[in-house]
Structure 1
Amino acid sequence: MVVCFVQNNVLAQVKSKEKTSFQISAPWSADYDVRSDIAMVYGINDNNGNFEERVKGYRDKGYEVQFMTGIAWGQYKDYFLGEWDGKNHLDEGQMMQNGETIWHGKNVPYTLPTPSYIAYMKTHVKRAIDAGVTAIYLEEPEFWARAGYGDAFKKEWQNYYGFPWMAQHESPEATYLSSKLKYQLYFNALKEVFSYVKSYSQSVGKRVKCFVPTHSLLNYSSWHIVSPEASLANLDGMDGYIAQVWTGTSREPVFYNGKSKERVFENAFLEYGSMVSMTAPTGRKIFFLTDPIEDRARSWDDYKINYQATFTAELLYPMVDNYEVMPWPNRIYKGKFSVEGMQEKQPIAPAYATQMQVMVNSLNQMPLSKNKLNGSQGIGVLLSNSLMFQNYPTHQGYNDPYLSNFYGMAIPLLKHGVPVETVHMENLANKNTLKDLKVLIMTYSNMKPSAAENHVELVKWVKNGGVLVYYGRDNDPFQNVKEWWNTGGNTFKAPSEHLFGLMGISESAGKSSYQVGSGKVFIIRKDPKELIMNANGDTEFIATIKQAYETEAKAGSFITKNNFVLERGPFTIAAVLDESESKEPLKLEGTLIDLFNPELPVIHEKIIQPGTQAYLFNIFEVENKNKPQILAAASRATNEVVTKNSFTFIAKSPSNTNNIMRILLPAKPKNSTAVKGGTNLSLTKNEWDEQSKTLLLGFENFSEGVEVNISW
Structure 2
Amino acid sequence: MHRLIVIAGIIMAGQINISEATRLVTDRELELTGFQEAAAFKPVCDFRNDFVMVYGTGDDRPDYIKSWVEKGYVPHFMTGIAWGGYQDFKDLNGNNIMSLAQTRADGTQWLHGKMTPYIVPSVEFADYICDKLEPIIDSGVKAIYLEEPEFWANAGFSDAFKREWRLFYDEPYERPGSSVDAQYKTNRLKYYLYQRAIRRVAEKSKEYALHKYGRELKIYVPTHSLINYTQWGIVSPQSSLIDSNVVDGCIAQIWTGTARTPNVYQGRLAERTFETAFLEYGVMQELVRGTGRKMWFLHDPIEDNPKHDWQDYRFNYKETLIASLLHPHIWRYEICPWPSRILTRKYPSNSQNASYIPDDYLTTLCIVFNQLRDMNQQEITWTNATKGIGVFIADSSMFQRAEPAESLAQINEKDPSKAGRKDIEHFSGFYGLTVPLVKLGIPVMPVQLDNAARFAGYLNDYKVLVLSYEFFKPQNPALNQAVAQWVANGGSLVYVGGDTDPFNQVSSWWNSGENSYKAPSQHLMQQLGLDKDAPTGEYEYGKGTVFIERCHPAHFTHSAAAGEKYINIIKPACKAAGLEWHENNFIQLRRGPYIIAACLDESVSDKPLELEGLFVDIFHHELPVLERVKIKPGSHSWLFDINKIKKDKAEPIASAARFESWEQSGSNVIFKLSCPENAKIVTRIYLPAKPVKMSIDDMAFSDYKWDEKSSTLFFESPDKPRQSIEINW
Match of 2:52, as an amino acid? A
Match of 1:616, as an amino acid? L
- C-alpha displacement of 1:395: 3.7
Retained in 2: the 8 A contact 1:258–1:536?
no
1:219 is aligned to 2:228: yes
- C-alpha displacement of 1:674: 3.1
| Residue of 595, 604, 622 corresponding to 1:581 | 604
C-alpha separation in 2, matches of 1:65 and 1:518: 52
| Residue of 150, 166, 169 corresponding to 2:174 | 166
Cα deviation, 1:348-371, whole Å, max 9, x if unaligned, reads 000000011111110112223351
Which residue is equivalent to 1:470? 495
Which residue is equivalent to 2:723? 706
Which residue is equivalent to 1:36? 49
Match of 1:69, as an amino acid? T
SS of residue in 1 equivalent to 2:88: helix
Retained in 1: the 8 A contact 2:694–2:701?
no
| Residue of 600, 619, 624 corresponding to 1:601 | 624
Match of 2:562, as an amino acid? G
Which residue is equivalent to 1:554? 578
Q: Output aligned runs, 1:326-405, within 5 Å.
A: 326-338=336-348, 343-374=352-383, 375-393=385-403, 394-398=406-410, 399=421, 400-405=424-429
How has the CA–CA distance of structure 1 residues 701 and 380 changed in structure 2, closer, same or farther, with 3 Å as cutoff?
farther
- C-alpha displacement of 1:115: 1.5
C-alpha separation in 2, matches of 1:397 and 1:615: 43
Which residue is equivalent to 2:118? 110
Retained in 1: the 8 A contact 2:497–2:552?
yes
Match of 1:639, as an amino acid? S
SS of residue in 2 equivalent to 1:314: helix
C-alpha separation in 2, matches of 1:313 and 1:432: 26
- C-alpha displacement of 1:643: 3.0
Which residue is equivalent to 1:494? 519
How has the CA–CA distance of structure 1 residues 260 and 700 changed in structure 2, closer, same or farther, with 3 Å as cutoff?
farther
Retained in 2: the 8 A contact 1:281–1:432?
no
- C-alpha displacement of 1:423: 1.2
How has the CA–CA distance of structure 1 residues 599 and 507 changed in structure 2, closer, same or farther, with 3 Å as cutoff?
same
- C-alpha displacement of 1:641: 2.6
- C-alpha displacement of 1:339: 9.9
| Residue of 551, 556, 581 corresponding to 1:531 | 556
Identify unmatched segments of 5+ residues in structure 2.
1-12, 15-26, 411-420
C-alpha separation in 1, matches of 2:173 and 2:696: 69
C-alpha separation in 1, matches of 2:674 and 2:131: 36
Which residue is equivalent to 1:53? 63
- C-alpha displacement of 1:87: 4.1
Match of 1:142, as an amino acid? E
Q: Output aligned runs, 1:140-155, within 5 Å.
A: 140-155=148-163
Q: Share of identical aligned residues, percent? A: 40
Which residue is equivalent to 1:242? 251
Which residue is equivalent to 1:518? 543
C-alpha separation in 1, matches of 2:131 and 2:612: 57
Retained in 1: the 8 A contact 2:525–2:534?
no
Which residue is equivalent to 2:206? 198
SS of residue in 2 equivalent to 1:173: helix
Q: C-alpha root-mean-square deviation of aligned residues, in Å?
A: 2.0
Q: Output aligned runs, 1:55-70, within 5 Å.
A: 55-70=65-80
Which residue is equivalent to 1:11? none
Match of 1:250, as an amino acid? A
Match of 2:176, as an amino acid? Q
Cα deviation, 1:368-398, whole Å, max 9, x if unaligned, reads 3351433111111011000101021224135
C-alpha separation in 2, matches of 1:378 and 1:457: 18
Retained in 2: the 8 A contact 1:395–1:477?
no
- C-alpha displacement of 1:509: 6.3
Retained in 2: the 8 A contact 1:649–1:709?
yes
Q: Which protein, 1 or 2, shows the higher relative CO under an 8 Å CA cutoff with sep ≥ 6? A: 2
Which residue is equivalent to 1:322? 332
C-alpha separation in 1, matches of 2:552 and 2:394: 17
Which residue is equivalent to 2:7? none
Retained in 2: the 8 A contact 1:391–1:446?
no
TM-score by length of structure 1 reads: 0.93
Retained in 2: the 8 A contact 1:652–1:701?
no
SS of residue in 2 equivalent to 1:219: helix
Which residue is equivalent to 2:711? 693
Which residue is equivalent to 2:673? 651
Which residue is equivalent to 1:563? 586
How many equivalent residue pairs?
Answer: 687
SS of residue in 2 equivalent to 1:637: strand
- C-alpha displacement of 1:627: 2.0
Which residue is equivalent to 1:431? 456
Retained in 1: the 8 A contact 2:264–2:426?
yes
Retained in 2: the 8 A contact 1:682–1:699?
no
TM-score by length of structure 2 reads: 0.91
Match of 2:618, as an amino acid? L
Retained in 1: the 8 A contact 2:662–2:669?
yes
Return 631-640 or 251-260, whichever deviates more.
631-640
SS of residue in 1 equivalent to 2:373: coil
Match of 2:408, as an amino acid? Q
Match of 2:38, as an amino acid? S
Which residue is equivalent to 2:17? none
C-alpha separation in 2, matches of 1:261 and 1:583: 19
Which residue is equivalent to 1:7? none
